[in-house]
Amino acid sequence: MGEGTVALNRRARHEFHIEETLEAGLVLTGTEIKSIRAGKVSLQEAYARIERGEAWLVGAHIAPYAGGNRWNHEAKRTRKLLLHKDEIHELLGTTKSKGLTLVPLRLYIDGRGHAKLEIGLARGKQLHDRRRDIAERDARREIERELADARRGR
């Protein structure tokens, strides 16, 4: 998964063409960051949206912290993304004009201990695009398998 990677949204690359990526910080509570460091996160149903000049992460599941008390966080609450105003305006314009959507790709802890979210500007794939990707991946695997067999002398 890479150094510091806590959660990966593998489905995103299967269902979307990722055209551009950017990094955003997250506004979290104390129990949320502890849960993230413990790896109790899922981005499968998550998406990002821009509302009233702010970016939000919706649908991400961060499990309640096991050692938390009565102020433990809600698992699927909407969390604010930390982006510069010009980045938010650019994203808003791009998503409106080109019909793109914001998809969370991975959640990781950076070198300073902050949780960061990699967001992709994405366009949804059609069914035939997915089938073509699967066929290409299978062909690539078959070629690698044949080369490995040839190197082993089989």
Which tens digit of pLDDT belongs to each residue from 31-59?
888 888 888 999 988 999 999 989 999 99
Q: Give the burial class of 1: count Cβ atoms within 10 A of its Cβ; 0-12 exposed, 13-18 middle, 19 or more buried.
A: exposed
pLDDT 10s digits, 90-122: 888 888 888 788 999 999 998 888 999 999 998
**Mean pLDDT in residue range 124-130:** 76
Question: CATH for 5-125, among 1.50.10.10, 2.40.280.10, 3.30.450.40, 3.40.50.280?
Answer: 2.40.280.10
Is the confidence at residue 4, as pLDDT, over 60? yes
DSSP state of 59: S
Percentage of residues in the chain with pLDDT exceeding 90? 41
- For position 3, what pLDDT does the model report? 60
**Mean pLDDT in residue range 74-95:** 90
Q: Where are the domains of the chain?
A: 5-125
The dihedral formed by the CA atoms of 140, 142, 145 and 146, expressed in degrees to the nearest 10? -110
